[in-house]
C-alpha cells in the first residue's frame, strides 16, 4: 500500500471548528480540479511515494500525543488515492481524530463514519463549481462540516442556493472569505443580514504566518 505524498508537517489547524488546535497535516499529491485561486498548486504533482507505514511513522514522529491532536489529510485531493482513504479510515477506527478536507467533487461515502469530512463546495469564482457532486450534501454524517470559499457576491448567492440541502443545525457550514477577495467585514455583514446558521471561517494560518508560506 503506497501513497503519493506532497508533504507532512505539523502546524495549527487553520480552518473549521477545529481551528487553532495542533494538527499533523498529510498533504497528498494530485488534484482533479484547477481552481482559479488555488493556493496549493505545488501539490498537483511530484512529492514522494511512501508506504502507509512510512506515513504513519512520520505522523507519529510529529504527533506529540495531546488528547486533541488531530491528523488532517488534505491535498491536492486526498480522496483520489484509495490507499490514502484506507489509511485514514484505519486511523479513525483505532480512535485517532482524523479530518479530511475534500474538494466536493468526489463521493464522500468511501469514508469510514469515524472520519470527519470537511467538504469544500466550490463556487463560481473557482471555475470548478460544475464539477461538484451535490449529492455529497445528503451524504454528510453527524460530525462532517461544509466549507464555502466566498470571493464575491456570486459565490455568496450560489451558496445560498445550496444551503436548503444542508441541515445547518447538525453540520457546521464554514463561510470562508477568499484571502484577497471579499473583505471579512463585508462577508460578516452579509451573514448578519441573512440571519443564517453559518460560521465565519478565517484562514488562521494566513494571519499567523506569511500567507504564501508552505508547510505551516
**Residues of the shown chain interacting with ligand SF4 in the complex, contacts defined by CB under 6 A:** 31, 33-35, 38, 40, 43, 75-77, 103
Nearest residue to 121 via CA among 109, 129, 113: 129
CB nearer to ligand SF4: give 38 or 202.
Answer: 38
Smallest distance, ligand SF4 to C-beta of residue 115, A: 18
Q: How many alpha carbons fall within 13 Å on the CB side of residue 119?
A: 27
Q: What pairs with residue 28 in β-bridges?
A: 5
Smallest distance, ligand SF4 to C-beta of residue 37, A: 7
Tell me how crowded residue 154 is: count the other CB atoms within 10 A of its CB: 13
Smallest distance, ligand SF4 to C-beta of residue 212, A: 14
CB nearer to ligand SF4: give 72 or 77.
Answer: 77
How far apart are the C-alpha atoms of 179 and 37, rounded to whole Å? 9
Residue 159 CA: distances (Å) to CA of 17, 124, 151, 175, 196: 19, 10, 11, 9, 12
CB nearer to ligand SF4: give 34 or 153.
Answer: 34
Smallest distance, ligand SF4 to C-beta of residue 34, A: 5
CB nearer to ligand SF4: give 23 or 31.
Answer: 31
Amino acid at each position: 500500500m503506497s501513497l503519493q505524498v506532497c508533504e507532512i508537517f505539523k502546524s495549527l489547524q487553520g480552518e473549521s471548528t477545529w481551528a487553532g488546535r495542533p494538527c499533523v497535516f498529510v498533504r497528498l499529491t494530485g488534484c482533479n480540479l484547477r481552481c482559479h485561486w488555488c493556493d496549493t498548486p505545488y501539490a498537483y504533482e511530484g512529492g514522494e511515494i511512501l508506504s502507509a507505514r512510512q506515513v504513519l511513522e512520520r505522523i507519529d514522529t510529529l504527533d506529540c500525543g495531546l488528547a486533541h491532536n488531530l491528523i488532517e489529510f488534505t491535498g491536492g485531493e486526498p480522496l483520489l488515492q484509495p490507499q490514502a482513504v484506507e489509511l485514514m479510515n484505519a486511523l479513525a477506527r483505532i480512535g485517532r481524530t482524523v479530518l479530511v478536507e475534500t474538494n466536493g467533487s468526489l463521493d464522500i461515502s468511501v469514508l469510514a463514519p469515524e472520519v470527519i469530512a470537511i467538504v469544500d463546495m466550490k463556487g463560481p469564482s473557482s471555475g470548478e463549481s460544475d464539477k461538484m457532486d451535490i449529492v455529497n450534501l445528503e451524504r454528510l454524517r453527524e460530525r462532517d462540516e461544509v466549507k464555502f470559499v466566498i470571493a464575491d457576491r456570486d459565490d455568496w448567492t450560489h451558496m445560498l442556493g445550496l444551503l436548503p440541502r444542508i441541515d445547518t443545525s447538525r453540520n457546521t457550514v464554514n463561510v470562508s472569505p477568499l484571502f484577497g477577495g471579499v473583505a471579512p467585514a463585508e462577508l460578516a455583514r452579509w451573514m448578519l443580514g441573512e440571519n443564517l446558521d453559518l460560521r465565519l471561517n478565517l484562514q488562521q494560518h494566513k494571519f499567523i504566518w506569511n500567507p504564501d508560506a508552505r508547510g505551516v
